[in-house]
Amino acid sequence: MNTAAATPSAAPAATPPENAALAAAPAPDAGYFARRTWGDWLFAAIAAAGAGFALWRYRQAMDGYETAILLATLPIVIWLGWFWRPLRHLMLVCGGLALLAIASYGGDLGRAETVFWLKFLLSSQSAILWMSVLFFMSTVFYWAGMFIRQPAASLESLGSKLAWGAVALALTGTLVRWYESHHIGAGIGHIPVSNLYEVFIMFCWMTTLFYLYYEEQYRTRALGAFVMLVVSAAVGFLLWYTLVREAHQIQPLIPALQSWWMKLHVPANFIGYGTFALAAMVAFAYLIKQQAGEQQRHRIASMWLLGMAVCFVPLAFRQRAEGAGGGYWLGYTIVAAAIVGLIVLGRKRIAQRLPSFEVLDDVMYKAIAVGFAFFTIATVLGAFWAADAWGGYWSWDPKETWALIVWLNYASWLHMRLIKGLRGTVAAWWALAGLAITTFAFIGVNMFITSLHSYGSI
């Protein structure tokens, strides 16, 4: 007889570690706050302490609206850190680096040339230059993972890590630039979202951050190769704009921008721009995957025409720049043409690496839905800002008109999807065409049309 089996007091079998972890985790049907871990509450405490320190340290320089924005931002920051945990790590890293830079400055901007990590890493301009390098490197590794068979996952993983590093440096550079603006002179300090240089930085990190979220949610890194192309294109413009226009110099705000509305309107606007760009690049990937299984020459020719149209857009900048940087834009065009050509030629290999059409379609839809919501909020906030600055909610200024065109375009896209079930090729081409409309509203108006909103010359 097996006495061990029959004895009631026999020790129970050891619980596997994974089962123990599941047992310790809150039940799925527990309340929202009951599901919070000690890490969640620690992050909330750190965020609250940071907001309290900022309020105590800078209360004298803040008006009532700015104080309200700070207090309203705190629960949003905590919720974001709870909603997507990688964000809390990003916030803590950027906050730590920014505080290190501020402590290193000690109120003296001249120390940027004498303190090693300020000069080569943490001053605003150094951080943004490193951001640019990491975005380019991320793009290269994402594409290397697309074509190199064996270590593809490792290469794409490295591309993802470099993208995270670029976002961290972009945010750190933005925070340090904000600090630097307040120490240049009285009345100059402002949140760095006031000109093309600053908003291009915002576009780069915001587009990448939204992509990284979808990368984790859908467990695929293959889309990074496409999304990082539009980010790298924006970085290319940023570098040209810095070298030719010296746009990195911090300038005082013009009177129309000296408003707390700017702190709300511009970030909401660029959530829209960033997610619309992301959706367009996912649409591009959708069309490439579709073309891989088709041999009709006219289909391939259509992709070449699309590529050439995209490549020749920079020539408009060259003509507008009055001779400044013409060689740069010629090189830009050649590189863009080569990239599009390689994508078309390698479409079969690329299609094998891309996720399913259903995933591509879903990412495209969600990106446009999020972008449309925030672009709508930005448009409403912009109307209030216009009423405050110019005495009217709407004046049919060219920038306002093109913003309305962008809004109507994506409102129609969402309407056709939700009411008529729009999917597939037509939806992808429409989303891709939306990028051209959005790009003109973003910078085309500044190039070709005189507008009350043209705060940065090209």
Closest listed residue to residue 202, CA positions, set 179, 178, 226, 181: 178
CA separation for the pair 104, 101 (Å, rounded): 5
The DSSP output letter for 249 is S
Per-residue pLDDT reduced to its tens digit, 101-111: 999 998 888 88
**pTM, two decimal places:** 0.87
Q: Which amino acid is at 422?
A: L
Q: What is the pLDDT of residues 311-329, one digit of tens each?
A: 555 555 555 555 555 566 6
Average pLDDT in the 193-208 region?
Answer: 93
Residue 8 pLDDT class (50, 70, 90 cuts): very low
- List CB contacts of 65: < 8 A, sequence separation 6 or more: 260
Q: What is the mean pLDDT of the chain?
A: 84
Separation CA 152–CA 143 (nearest Å): 9
Between 184 and 18, where is the model more confident?
A: 184
* pLDDT for the residue 334: 77
Q: List C-alpha distances in Å: 417 to 218, 364, 411, 428.
A: 21, 11, 10, 12
Q: Is the pLDDT at 21 greater than 50, yes or no? A: no
Q: Which of 6-20, 184-198, 279-293 has the lowest mean pLDDT?
A: 6-20
DSSP output for 181-236: HHHHSTTT---S-SSHHHHHHHHHHHHHHHHHHHHHHHT--TTHHHHHHHHHHHHH
Whether residue 65 has pLDDT greater than 50: yes
Instruction: Note the pLDDT tens digit of each residue in 102-161.
Output: 999 988 888 888 889 899 999 999 999 999 999 999 999 999 988 887 776 788 999 999
Q: Using alpha carbons, list the distances in angstroms from residue 406 to 371, 384, 440.
A: 11, 19, 10
